[in-house]
Homo-oligomer: A and B are copies of this chain.
Amino acid sequence: MKRVMSENGRLLTLEGWYVYHDFRKIDFPRWKQVSDVERHQALEELFALMNTWEKNEEEKKGSTALFAINGHKADLVFLFLRPTLEELYHIKTTLNKTKLAEFTEQPESYISVVELSNYVNNPDQDPKADPRVRARLYPTLPKTGYMSFYPMNKKRDGEDNWYTLPMEKRRELMKAHGKTGRKYAGKVQQMISGSIGFDDWEWGVTLFAEDPLQFKYLVYEMRFDEVSARYGEFGYFVVGHAVGREELRELFQID
């Protein structure tokens, strides 16, 4: 863990918790067909799970957050951070067995692991001993504000091939990119998670902000950085706001 780069010039990475973005879409026509009692039980079952997730977070064994998603792609996304893929599998199947799952479908998901790259450390120290590093590898997800998520690759397309660039060039481009990111410090919080070998894109980017326009400003400004302009390949984008029990009750309320 202490080398900064591998023999072939690849920058080493640090990994934290595994990440599971679990998108759900609500089937309201079917939800309306069941009784108030059933709907109440289904919601309470979800809230009981949320209790266990909150306890997990309090015990620093993971973090969980729930966001409403705009548009037709999904209605909710659960963000789960846990130490192992098994726990994330268990969470998926537990959710799928709930009463509420009978009234939702899962149109999308993303599997990744929190990643810090370009880490410069003292070869005599364990970087994970640094509390600032630990806070980024094992973050507590925000419970208010907005979230934007998108998966991405580094391009390998003719002249625009990230993986054939010399390491110095990659380092320089990432540095400029980081500078753009830092302009948004205090406005946008970024969680980068690696998914090479786990899911269809190379990275997932999860952004958090109090004002969703900051997502647009940040991603747009970054798109002019050479690293995105020439080497970024982007998947789908979703946006939404944090929801708690109260808004969930309202969302699932049928008059």
A interface list, Cβ under 8 A from B? 6, 8-10, 13, 15, 20, 22-23, 26, 28-29, 32, 68-73, 75, 85-86, 88-89, 92-93, 96-97, 101-102, 106-111, 113, 146, 148, 150, 156-161, 163-164, 180, 194-200, 207, 212-213, 215-216, 218-221, 223-226, 228-230, 232, 236-241, 251, 254
Q: List 16 A-B contacts (CB under 8 A).
A: A6-B221, A26-B93, A28-B96, A70-B92, A71-B111, A72-B106, A72-B109, A85-B241, A89-B241, A111-B239, A113-B216, A158-B158, A195-B237, A197-B237, A198-B212, A200-B237
Once the chains bind, are B198 and A237 in contact (CB under 8 Å)? yes
| Chain A residues touching B, majority SS | mixed
Choose from B70, B72, B160, B225 the contact partner of A107 (Cβ within 8 Å): B72
Choose from B32, B70, B85, B96 the contact partner of A212 (Cβ within 8 Å): B85
Set of chain B residues within 8 Å of A10, measured between Cβ atoms: 220-221, 224
Cα A221 to Cα B9 with chains together (Å): 10
Would A197 and B216 be within 8 Å (CB), given that A32-B97, A239-B85 are in contact? Answer: yes
Q: How far is the CB of A191 from chain B (nearest CB, A)?
A: 15
In the complex, the count of this chain's copies comes to: 5
Once the chains bind, are B196 and A216 in contact (CB under 8 Å)? yes
Once the chains bind, are A89 and B68 in contact (CB under 8 Å)? yes
Cα A121 to Cα B19 with chains together (Å): 44
Cα A68 to Cα B86 with chains together (Å): 9
Once the chains bind, are A198 and B107 in contact (CB under 8 Å)? no
Q: How far is the CB of A34 from chain B (nearest CB, A)?
A: 12
Once the chains bind, are A101 and B195 in contact (CB under 8 Å)? no
Once the chains bind, are B164 and A226 in contact (CB under 8 Å)? yes
Cα A158 to Cα B230 with chains together (Å): 8
Cα A179 to Cα B48 with chains together (Å): 51
Residue in chain B with minimal CB distance to A96: B28
Set of chain B residues within 8 Å of A218, measured between Cβ atoms: 197
Would A86 and B200 be within 8 Å (CB), given that A72-B107, A156-B229, A216-B15 are in contact? Answer: no
Would A163 and B198 be within 8 Å (CB), given that A101-B28, A108-B72 are in contact? Answer: no
Given contacts A97-B254, A196-B216, 18 further A-B contacts (CB under 8 A): A26-B93, A28-B101, A32-B102, A68-B89, A75-B92, A75-B93, A85-B146, A111-B239, A148-B198, A164-B229, A196-B219, A196-B220, A197-B219, A197-B220, A197-B237, A198-B212, A198-B216, A198-B237
